Amino acid sequence: MKGWIQVQQLFKSYGNGAKQVEVLKGIDLTFSQGERAAIVGASGVGKTTLLHILGTLDRPTSGKVLYEGRDIFALNEMELSSFRNREVGFVFQFHHLLPEFNALENTMLPCLIRGIPKKEATLQARTILTAVGLKDRLLHKPGELSGGEQQRVAVARALVLEPRILLADEPTGNLDTATGESVFDLLQELNKVKGVTLIVVTHNMALAGRLPRQIQLTDGKTAG
């Protein structure tokens, strides 16, 4: 099995003994660089768990995740944190923006955490906010933005460090239909323009159907 990202016999369990729950049961997947894919399935089947493992927010019980042939879970915690900060962007159902910071400041945060000088961080944040259609909303705080605008800030924050993979967990789940479609269009456009690999967890089959690949997760195993 060859691919930019390779998932090999991935298992994930929680708890111990009689209380152990096996969530993922031998997942094998491969993703190409620049691919667009949706992970779909009923609630509680492990979609978010799989996404978190792909993004190294969680570790598998057993199995491997290879990026360009490198087993990322063989890295130590410092190396893993560096990999995550450099290569992966995350967008969640809830935007998790800091309410006391404006759109520009929220988007700059990953740059400042990495140690990028403030002037450069400001330029990078301004550029990506403009790309997601918010150049006139830079100084607005989250409470002054619509739900769709808040999620666009979250997308900008996820992309400000130019990761090669964007993982989105129900990114439209907290939005009305029209706004959700707008955010989804944005993700697809960023994939096209920037070449970022896009993997989306969604329960919305209409949106999932707009991606070239759908991975069905059922009883801890995948199809697609």
Domains of the chain: 35-60+86-223 (3.40.50.300)
Q: From residue 67, how far is each of 25, 32, 97 by CA, in Å?
A: 21, 10, 29
pTM above 0.95, yes or no: no
How far apart are alpha carbons 209 and 12 in whole angstroms? 27
Which pLDDT value is given to residue 162? 83
Q: With 0-12 CB in 10 A as exposed, 13-18 as middle and 19+ as buried, what is 65? A: buried
- Asked whether residue 13 carries a pLDDT value surpassing 70, the answer given is yes
Identify the weakest region by mean pLDDT among 20-34, 79-93, 126-140.
79-93
- Asked whether residue 2 carries a pLDDT value surpassing 60, the answer given is no
Please compute the mean of the pLDDT values over residues 124-148 and round it to a whole number.
Answer: 90
CB 9 within 8 A of CB 53: no
pLDDT digits (tens, 9 = 90+) for 21-57: 888 989 999 999 999 999 998 877 888 899 999 999 8
Residue that wins the pLDDT comparison between 9 and 82: 9
CB 11 within 8 A of CB 24: yes
Instruction: Specify which of 63-67, 79-83, 93-97 reaches the highest per-range mean pLDDT.
Output: 63-67
Which pLDDT value is given to residue 145? 92
Which pLDDT value is given to residue 1? 41
pLDDT digits (tens, 9 = 90+) for 57-76: 899 999 999 999 899 999 99
